[in-house]
Amino acid sequence: MSTPRRLILATRNQHKVTELRAILGAAGLNVELVGADAYPEVPDVAETGVTFAENALLKAHALARATGLPAVADDSGLCVDVLNGAPGIFSARWSGRHGDDRANLELLLAQLSDIAPEHRAAHFACAAALALPDGTERVVEGRLLGTLRTAPAGSNGFGYDPILQPLGETRTCAELTPDEKNAISHRGKAFRALAEVVGELLG
């Protein structure tokens, strides 16, 4: 078998690396996936885009330029219909403090406290990008449609998982097992679509 092509995922979250590595493996791709931790000298990239796709491309291109290797990146968040798609790209810092899951969730629930169940539609969105050192780029997207509960339920997952109930489910994302969630999640869908792109561009 030929030597696998090295591919970098622009994250220091090992769970994301493991998830995409499994998806690439299931697709039969001869790729060695590593996280950004493998290149500690490369700084994190500011997410200055105004869409998930722009942010994913910013991170992927920066990593590809810095390392001379193909790079992938993703950006995701929760989009609420009655808030015209917000929190969207601001999902991780909705409360003003980046990554404070509890504060973000509590603020969103407070903002939606008087919204009737039939108007609580929302979806998780994920854009995943592949960038090559020569500037070639591709972006794919995945969505998980659902409705928002009025109170959190479940202890799995993170972020807004405890309040999003996927369509056709009686449980929230945080009440699903990791395998159940990965099978339907926005990131799982985007990463599986990205695996096809990786196969097409990297062979």
pLDDT of residue 2: 66
Nearest residue to 43 (alpha-carbon basis) of 27, 28, 58: 58
Per-residue pLDDT of the chain (203 residues; tens, 9 = 90+): 467 789 999 998 887 888 888 888 888 888 999 999 999 998 888 889 999 999 999 999 999 999 999 999 999 999 999 999 999 999 999 999 888 999 999 999 999 999 999 999 999 999 999 999 999 999 999 999 999 999 999 998 889 999 999 999 999 999 999 889 989 999 999 999 999 999 998 86
Domain that holds residue 94: 5-202
| Parallel, antiparallel or unpaired: strands 31-35 and 5-9 | parallel
Q: Which residue out of 37, 75, 101, 134 is catalytically annotated? A: 75
Domain count, the chain: 1
- CATH number for the domain spanning 10: value is 3.90.950.10
Q: What's the pTM value of the predicted model, to 2 decimals?
A: 0.92
Residues in the chain: 203
Nearest residue to 27 (alpha-carbon basis) of 189, 195, 203: 195
pLDDT of residue 180: 92
Q: Label residues 96-127 b or e (16+ Cβ within 10 Å = b).
A: eeeeebeebbeebbeebeeeeeeebebbbbbb
* Residue corresponding to tokens 């994190």: 44
Gap between the Cα atoms of 152 and 107, Å rounded: 12
Q: Is 101 a catalytic residue?
A: no
